[in-house]
Amino acid sequence: MGNKLSCIRRHAKPTKDKTTYFRVSEPFELMTFLIKKMSDVSRSDIKKLLARGQVSVNEVYVTRYNHALRENDLVAVHYSKRRIAFSHPQVQILYEDDDVIVIDKKEGLLSVTVGREHEITAFEILLQYLKAKDLRNRLFVVHRLDRETSGVMMFAKNKDFQTEIQRCWHENVTERKYVALVEGTPDPKNGRIVSYLSENAKSLKMRSDNRDNGGQKAVTDYRLLLGNGAYSLLEISLETGRKNQIRVHMQQMGHSVAGDKKYGGSPSPINRMGLHASVLAWRHPFTGAACRFESPVPKKFTTFIGLDKAGNTH
């Protein structure tokens, strides 16, 4: 694969887990208990073991120093760093290194909090996973996907990466493609939409204007992949990444994204909004490695539009 695909999942070699067990004979706070039992280990090293999630009580990992121990509790100290398995029905990790974590997000999940009442987000799910590995771990937002949009997105694991990837976003991000199920059939079948987007402060809807109205310039390229008359499957490439850009431009073209009621769409025939982030490619700002991640088109899209398993249209 060469240097271009150096951003691939790293598989660690398995190591034996050296574990020491202690049985609790009377109530103690966890930190005090460990200091007493591990007299040959410094206080700072014991704190590190706790912070890294390497101590369990009755087979449950604990990081709080003042966790209350009861008689007959079993305390285990795992000297090998704990490997945290990640599994979540709405998030799949595609790649992770010291700087970045790339995921495939399901539709219906917020990317980050929007400031209203508390709701679980992709950000929170990943932060919990990282904190379970080491409480010092942090997570930073790089870009967003709308709640009802599925597909590939990334988060930074340190501030330096976030700053650098965002500072030269258009140079660093080399490919950003979506697949959209839209109403009707675009004419022409391939094209480019250029407009200026501004947001209504009350409705929070984006408005598109062909003339420079002081808003942000937005450029969207589209290409027809499949169609059945009533709906079309489009491949969409973004030159810019503005809020709701694809959804607004599809409405402007007269072919709203399926199920996108906010921007003129009828109720969805597939019980979700027809927008999926299929490809995200970028150049690592520190290593220079070219990284490309792809998420397959949701089966609901292809089945509805009339594409069978063999890749033939009905």
pLDDT one-digit tens code per residue, 242-294: 999 999 999 999 999 999 999 999 999 999 999 999 999 999 998 888 999 99
Pick the catalytic residue from 73, 99, 104, 146. Answer: 146
To the query of whether residue 40 is one of the catalytic residues in this protein, the response is no
Kindly report, residue by residue over 6-54, the tens digit of the pLDDT: 453 333 333 345 889 999 999 999 999 999 999 989 998 898 888 777 8
Please state, in angstroms and rounded to a whole number, the distance separating the CA atoms of residues 227 and 232: 4
Q: What are phi and psi of 19, to 5 degrees?
A: -130, 135
Return all residues near 124 (Cβ < 8 A) that are at least 6 apart: 113
CATH number belonging to the domain at 169-314, selected among 3.30.2350.10, 3.40.50.1010, 1.10.510.10, 3.40.190.10:
3.30.2350.10
Confidence of residue 56 (pLDDT cuts 50, 70, 90): confident
CATH topology of domain 19-78: 3.10.290
CATH topology of domain 85-167: Pseudouridine synthase (3.30.2350)
Domain spans, the chain: 19-78, 85-167, 169-314
Within a 10 A sphere around the Cβ of 211, how many other Cβ atoms?
A: 7
Q: Which of 62, 64, 69 is nearest to 27 (CA)?
A: 69
pTM exceeds 0.75: no
Q: What are phi and psi of 293, to 5 degrees?
A: -130, 140
Kindly report, residue by residue over 292-302, the tens digit of the pLDDT: 999 999 999 99
Helix, strand, coil percent values for the chain (each to nearest 5): 20, 35, 45
Q: Which of 172, 275, 173, 285 is nearest to 233 (CA)?
A: 275
